[in-house]
Amino acid sequence: MGLIKTEKFSKEQNEIALIAKVIGHPARVAILQHLFKINACVCGDLVDEIGLAQSTISQHLKELKHMGLIKGNVEGTSVCYCIDTENWSKMKQIMSQFLDQDVSNSTCC
Amino acid sequence: MGLIKTEKFSKEQNEIALIAKVIGHPARVAILQHLFKINACVCGDLVDEIGLAQSTISQHLKELKHMGLIKGNVEGTSVCYCIDTENWSKMKQIMSQFLDQDVSNSTCC
DNA sequence: TTTGTATATTGCAATATTACGATTAAGTAG
DNA sequence: CTACTTAATCGTAATATTGCAATATACAAA
């Protein structure tokens, strides 16, 4: 079917999955890393930086923006992107809580 | 095309994306959470726990095993699954390093 | 206004993912 | 052996994702 049965899972489980999913593509990882590295706004050199078509990058940016991980400000004819620090922190906390589950006393297998 | 151009990205970027991708489905999140909660082997009640078909759960388990996040031991007619703690720690470190990128001095946008 | 530049959107084609039923494989119990 | 249980695999249908070219939009400069 290709259709995820979200109704079978908790809100938290769906949220974790959605966050992970948006990070689950190397182009989006690369975009985020670049925005962190520059540590400021970036106005469109992402297409050169990553080797994909302009329309493809634009689509990935849209997804990142939709999940709230980045912000985009229009500056004349170009658009200025950067990490949405507030949402990034929230997202980080949700993921960290999931990743940090204690694993010490698993004496099985 | 539906085909990711992995050759355009670094090994690290692809690795982060692969890890995130496998977590990017609520059923797999639920499986992992259950294994952590039980904190021991679980032998097939995952199908009851989560409301998906046995073959679907089996497929998700396969993906988690393939990424090394869980281990499966055959015990008679059933199979015993648990978190692969060593690999989980490695994965956690890779993801944490990505998530913990400093975000403080972004004065843009 | 016309031209140029930067980004978004649209419309595909190719491939991937999700889910399930049916079947298979492998073990256990009688 | 047969019957039963459990889990993996196969086949298939429905939907999603990825990527690109072409086009549209929006602004700036001449």
DSSP per-residue letters across A35-70: HHHHTS-B-STHHHHS-S-HHHHHHHHHHHHHTTSE
Closest residue in B to A72 (Cα) is B109
According to the model, what pLDDT value does residue B105 have?
Answer: 56
According to the model, what pLDDT value does residue B109 have?
Answer: 60
In the block, tokens 């975000």 appear at: B103
Residues of A in contact with B25 (CB under 8 A): 4, 17, 21
Instruction: Answer yes or no: are the C-beta atoms of B71 and B84 closer than 8 Å.
Output: yes
What is the average per-residue pLDDT within B79-95? 94
According to the model, what pLDDT value does residue B19 have?
Answer: 98
pLDDT per residue over B12-45, tens digit each? 999 999 999 999 999 999 999 999 998 777 777 8
According to the model, what pLDDT value does residue B2 have?
Answer: 86
What is the average per-residue pLDDT within B40-51? 85
Closest residue in B to A107 (Cα) is B40
According to the model, what pLDDT value does residue A46 have?
Answer: 92
State the nucleotide closest to B43 in CA–C1' terms: D6
Strand C: residues with CB below 7 A: A 1-5, 43-44, 47, 54-55, 58-59, 61-62, 72, 77-79; B 1-3, 21, 24-25, 27, 52-56, 59-60, 63, 74, 76-77
> What does the longest C-alpha to C-alpha distance in chain A come to?
60
Residue B50 CB contacts under 8 Å (≥ 6 apart), including other chains: A8, A9, B27, B30, B31, B34, B57
Domains contained in chain B, CATH given: 12-92 (1.10.10.10)
Q: Given pLDDT bands bounded at 50, 70 and 90, which one contains residue A106? A: low
Task: Tell me if A99 and B95 make a contact (CB, 8 A cut-off).
Answer: yes
The string of DSSP codes covering B16-68 is HHHHHHHHSSHHHHHHHHHHHHHTS-B-STHHHHS-S-HHHHHHHHHHHHHTT
According to the model, what pLDDT value does residue B48 have?
Answer: 92
According to the model, what pLDDT value does residue B50 have?
Answer: 95
Residue B13 CB contacts under 8 Å (≥ 6 apart), including other chains: A26, A29, A30, A33
According to the model, what pLDDT value does residue A103 have?
Answer: 65
Residue B91 CB contacts under 8 Å (≥ 6 apart), including other chains: A99, B19, B67, B68, B69
pLDDT per residue over A32-74, tens digit each? 999 999 877 787 889 999 999 999 999 999 999 999 999 998 8
According to the model, what pLDDT value does residue A102 have?
Answer: 73
Q: How far apart are CA A41 and CA A36, in angstroms?
A: 9
